[in-house]
Amino acid sequence: MGAWIVSLDRAKERAMADPRPKSYEEMLALWRSKLREARDQYAAAVERYQQVSRDYKAGLFVPPDGWLALSKAQRNESMALKEYLRVAKIFSDLLLRGR
């Protein structure tokens, strides 16, 4: 009988530690949070690219560092946009279709 109680306690612990959402509303909240995070990361990447672009145009970088910094900032912005769009699609599918 004691083993059954221990296994029940372990099952409860696993259920409580399980980060997966339990309901549609929890899934919406989870993906809404991910969407905000992706949006914020994209906004930061855009801001960084704009700053590097201004600095590059002002001649504040010594070649080839300027070109590399600009290229890296552009690539980061592009990757952040791609992630934001991926998460936005998942969120909108969940919101509109429930999946």
- Are 49 and 74 within 8 A, CB to CB? yes
What are the extents of the domains in the chain? Answer: 19-97
Cα dihedral 30→76→73→70 (10° resolution): -160
pLDDT of residue 92 exceeding 70: yes
For residue range 47-90, what is the model confidence (pLDDT) as tens digits?
Answer: 999 999 999 999 888 878 889 999 999 999 999 999 999 999 99
CA dist., res. 68 & res. 28, Å (int): 39
pTM recorded for the entire structure: 0.73
CA dist., res. 26 & res. 36, Å (int): 15
Helix residue ranges, H only, the chain: 2-17, 24-57, 65-97
Residue 78 amino acid letter: S
